[in-house]
Amino acid sequence: MQEKAAQIVEKVVEETVEKVSGIVAEKAEMVAQAAKEVGKEAKTIAKEAAEVAKPAPKATKVITPEMAKIPAGPLEKKWTNYKDHQKLVNPANKRKLDVIVVGTGLAGASAAASLAEMGFNVLNFCIQDSPRRAHSIAAQGGINAAKNYQNDGDSVYRLFYDTIKGGDYRAREANVYRLAEVSNNIIDQCVAQGVPFAREYGGLLDNRSFGGAQVSRTFYAKGQTGQQLLLGAYSALSRQIGKGKVKMYSRYEMLDIVMIKDENGEQRARGIIARNLVTGRIERFFAHAVVIGSGGYGNTFFLSTNAMASNGSAAMQMYRHGAYFANPCYAQIHPTCIPKHGDFQSKLTLMSESLRNDGRIWVPKKLEDAKRLQAGEIKGRDIPEEDRDYYLERRYPAFGNLVPRDVASRAAKERCDAGYGVNNTGLAVFLDFSEAIQRLGKDVVAQKYGNLFQMYEKIVDENPYENPMMIFPAIHYTMGGIWVDYELQTSVKGLFCIGEANFSDHGANRLGASALMQGLADGYFVLPYTIQNYLSDQIGVPRMSTDLPEFAEAEKAVEQKIEKLMSIQGKRSVDSIHKELGLIMWDFVGMGRTAAGLKEAIQKIDALKKEFWTNVYIPGKADSLNNELEKALRLADFIEIGRLMAVDALHREESCGGHFREEYQTPDGEALRQDDKFSYVGCWKYTGEDSEPELIKEPLDYEFTERKTRNYKA
Ligand SMILES: Cc1cc2nc3c(=O)[nH]c(=O)nc-3n(C[C@H](O)[C@H](O)[C@H](O)COP(=O)(O)OP(=O)(O)OC[C@H]3O[C@@H](n4cnc5c(N)ncnc54)[C@H](O)[C@@H]3O)c2cc1C
């Protein structure tokens, strides 16, 4: 009854808002018209009137399962059915087709190698001086797969279920099931490539546990899993470079995508414009399809655990050409990072989640102990056992220190906000190995985590074997990204998006060790099938000349943007503006978000955008190596992404996963979802430089799982 009443009220409110905004729009137009007639600064008045009339973001379109190309049938048969019926390209035709792959991280490198192995001609681009230096190399802890080697009850379904639940029921079921299904192939593929996964004494592959799971399904190579996996993908890529099937463009940055209309007048991605970062030359490249694996946009926050070159520009280029940006507000804050220690810092360092297998997280029980720690009078090891609050074990007995990242991060913030932080800023908690060292011995702990301990000691100058590590949450990963259908194709024809750059599999919160799994699933096992469904219709399309007007226009627009930036010659460095953006993001779009804070963030970002475009200073020239210019181009896009994140966070009036709206929480501080209103993917469509984006919804129906409140307590 109450629900029905609420629905009626909601409908009436919606209709009234619609009517009112319609009337306001009408009036505004009349005012503008009148102003024009009397000839009084008509332009300004018209603009202001249009501003007033601008309605709040409102979803006008809905993406159906058919539009998302989700195959029909039982969950466990969808992917097999798809593969059985998709269109293929025969070997002779593959040789006629070119594919651009932007990115050489785990997603890009595995895709480029696989597509070339299949016979397509691949052009592969990366910013770094070697494909091996993509951000993926930094991944530490491991990669998930449902092998059930530990015989602890794991299965494809359980990995699927944990991922759906971990993502707070905001991911698409069909994609997540496929991810879990191909996870086992990834391990086989990588072992065949020679990736040195950790092994048990008897020679079998070892596993450890990661957050949000009660089984051990994480495969690892010490604390360097990303590096070893990337070397595997790189060796496959190198083989294809050697065979001439991949043409590698290192130190090249894509600055735009080239769209060309087909015979039906539909825009298709047909190439890219890229800047040679060494010479500054702008170049044009054609392909029948463009695949983007450009990574996440966590560096919007300036300080993050991401590599310094990680950026969101490729995503923004896709977005501006009509690809929807899905769930931009879903960003992951990782609970175990080395705390920030100064204003001149430009990078944060992750302490892998794997450390939570054996490390225990705590703060003092007594406020006076916390104060003495903050003043540097005592060390963590001086506090006796009975005075330690293992708050995760206390609050979440079933999962303890292995609760998912969003839960662990908020719990750390809650303790620090209450005054129990343990470093000089009061913004840190302890991660303690003393019990593990007693139980396993120092040698075993060193074998498992040695390189991470060494890294900690180098940065903090304290021995973590003797005194507990200090950790604090930091921005780490972005679950949001470019919307893709089941085939990993964006809402733009011929434009595909893979890896962290897309939104696909993690809902509102990614579980640890699932990003490497997704990147390699996309690149080795999904895209090589699905892209054929698109390319099979392109075999009759001849290679196009890059002299076509579309290429020339795209190149000109890129040159004009660079000229504009170089001509500003203001007073502020790129980094100083980026740092300011980062502070706005952390304060208002970070771990705790409120409607008032998000509105303030949008205003501040708008002001910062003006400041950037009028007062940034870029030394040097555009036609040579110029790091500051590279950073400025990326910052221009980070500013737009930051705003989009705030707009999305403001509209999503619920808490789910990494998105915590303080207005929506349970009495004990847990995230409170609003399934009746927000069980959808929020897709934002670009509508122009200075106009608000349009919201398009992809409803999330849970056919195969029951939506529950996430519970890690029992
Ligand atoms: C410190 C750290 C540790 C992590 N540990 C784990 C872990 O243990 N397990 C796990 O599952 N996940 C982990 N993650 C997450 C995981 O590393 C990433 O999500 C994943 O590596 C992303 O891979 P990717 O291929 O999508 O993108 P990336 O590896 O970020 O690669 C992006 C590529 O795109 C290129 N590029 C970007 N823009 C352009 C452009 N405009 N033009 C040309 N090239 C461009 C770059 O040069 C690069 O080659 C970790 C993340 C961090 C930060």
Q: How far is the CA of 695 from the centre of ligand 1 (A)?
A: 28
Q: Is 208 a catalytic residue?
A: no
Helix (H) / strand (E) containing 635: helix 627-651
Band of residue 6 on the pLDDT scale cut at 50, 70, 90: very low
Mean pLDDT, residues 8-15: 49
Q: Is 103 touching ligand 1 by the criterion CB < 6 Å?
A: yes
Band of residue 29 on the pLDDT scale cut at 50, 70, 90: low
Q: Tally Cβ neighbours within 10 Å of residue 352.
A: 25
- Give the rounded distance of the alpha carbon of 652 from its chain centre: 18
- Distance separating alpha carbons of residues 291 and 120, to the nearest angstrom: 13
Write the pLDDT tens digit of every residue in 127-142: 999 999 999 999 988 9
Q: Is 657 touching ligand 1 by the criterion CB < 6 Å?
A: no
Write the pLDDT tens digit of every residue in 676-714: 999 999 999 999 988 999 999 999 999 999 998 887 887
Tokens for 8, please give them.
Answer: 């009626």
Q: How far is the CA of 503 from the centre of ligand 1 (A)?
A: 14
Q: Which of 405, 410, 652, 673 is catalytic?
A: 405
pLDDT of residue 7: 54
Beta bridge partners of 671: 665
Mean pLDDT, residues 551-555: 98
pLDDT of residue 52: 38
Q: Is 637 touching ligand 1 by the criterion CB < 6 Å?
A: no
Closest C-alpha to ligand 1, atom 53: 306
pLDDT of residue 211: 83
Is residue 28 scored above 80 in pLDDT?
no
DSSP 14-75: HHHHHHHHHHHHHHHHHHHHHHHHHTSSHHHHHHHHHHHH-PPP---EE--TTTTTPPPS-H
pLDDT of residue 59: 58
Write the pLDDT tens digit of every residue in 617-671: 999 999 999 999 999 999 999 999 999 999 999 999 999 999 999 999 998 888 9
Q: Is 293 touching ligand 1 by the criterion CB < 6 Å?
A: yes
Determine which of 21-25, 220-224, 513-517 has the lowest per-residue pLDDT on average. Answer: 21-25
- Percent share of the chain, pLDDT over 70: 92
